[in-house]
Amino acid sequence: MPAVKPSPKPRPRKRIQKRGRARLSAPEIIRLLGSSYGPFQHASRLDPAEEVVLTILSQHTSDYNSERAFHSLMREFGSLDAVADGDIPRIERAIQTGGLARVKAPRIRQILNLIKEKRGNLDLTFLKDLPLPEAKAWLRSLPGIGPKSAAVILCFSLGMPAMAVDTHVHRVSKRLGLIGPKVSADDAHDILEAMVEPDDVYPFHVALITHGRKVCHAQRPRCAACVLAPGCPSAGIAMKKPPKKKLTNAKRSGVGQGVTSFR
């Protein structure tokens, strides 16, 4: 009986190492995007109470429409004190170009009157003298003011280092690996704010928003034209639109569909 030859030992498989990209730092992102969109110079837009009203008007609509609605409101009433004392149908008519006027009109009047009750007037410049967490908490005690809205008011009107995370900043930050893929926009405010120097918060916010609008689109980002691509872990990954699902007759007609709540 012939001797059975031992089976050859399997060769160890070579480990293939993927070449990862080093994560870009916030200063590098600002510098690289600044060459395309900069310089990012801070300029206050409005009085903080006016910024509160504009922020409410900007929810669920475009910047163009919200600004039109704000200017229409001020032309109609002349001052925020007059808006606080105005009747809701008149406020609603003044802001109708901004959308959701029936929801926003009573909310604007409610917020203005709450500010007057808390402070005795509509002057919110005192927020600049508070520690940033306290200033945020004060604004967030107002109805309709969440993390993003509070950050926008503090950053744009008062020049405080509050990180505002909108849909563009959230998307681009995830693609750059600055935050995890499952981090919510609300949680991203504190994470990104902690990794960016106070003086860089405003330029970082504006840089990412501009980049998200011009290059890093939600669908089909223009990676070939992106100056951040060499340091972006998502560069070159195809991001195609998911296939459209066929709608049933019930879904086409809207039967059984929920209504999106206003936040």
Q: Which of residues 219 and 242 earns the better pLDDT score?
A: 219
Flag whether pLDDT at 73 surpasses 80.
yes
Query: Of 87 and 15, which is predicted with more confidence?
Result: 87
Tens digits of residue pLDDT in 198-219: 999 999 999 999 999 999 999 9
Q: Which of 5, 14, 118, 148 is catalytic?
A: 148
Domain boundaries, the chain: 20-42+162-234, 48-158
Report the distance separating Cα 29 and Cα 201, nearest Å: 12
pTM: 0.78
Position 7 confidence tier, pLDDT thresholds 50, 70, 90: low
Lowest-pLDDT range, 2-6, 36-40, 96-100, 177-181? Answer: 2-6
Q: How far apart are CA 233 and CA 55, in angstroms?
A: 33
Identify the residue with better confidence: 253 or 7.
7
Alpha carbon separation from 62 to 56, 58, 68, 80, 91 (Å, rounded)? 12, 7, 10, 22, 19
What is the average per-residue pLDDT within 135-153? 95
Q: Is 128 a catalytic residue?
A: no
Please report which helix (H) or strand (E) contains residue 36, including its range.
helix 26-37
| Span of 14-18, 47-51, 63-67, 140-144 with lowest mean pLDDT | 14-18
Q: With bands split at pLDDT 50, 70 and 90, how would you rate the model's confidence at 262?
A: very low
The two tokens of residue 105 are: 């009109």
Domain 20-42+162-234 coded CATH 3.20.20.370: no
CATH fold of 48-158 reads: Endonuclease III; domain 1 (1.10.340)
pLDDT in tens, 157-197: 999 999 999 999 999 999 999 999 999 999 999 999 999 99
Alpha carbons 111 and 124: distance in angstroms, whole number = 12
In 3D space, the residue among 215, 115, 218 whose CA is nearest the CA of residue 174 turns out to be 218
Distance separating alpha carbons of residues 241 and 252, to the nearest angstrom: 20
**Spatial distance between the Cα atoms of 213 and 125, rounded to a whole number of angstroms:** 31
CA atoms of 180 and 174, how far apart (whole Å): 6
Decide if pLDDT at 252 tops 70.
Answer: no
Structure tokens at 119: 């402070």
Q: What's the rounded Cα separation, in Å, for the pair 258 and 127?
A: 38
Quick one: pLDDT at residue 45?
77
**Best-predicted range by mean pLDDT (36-45, 144-153, 243-252):** 144-153
The per-residue pLDDT for range 26-63, each reduced to its tens digit, is 999 999 999 998 888 887 679 999 999 999 999 989 88
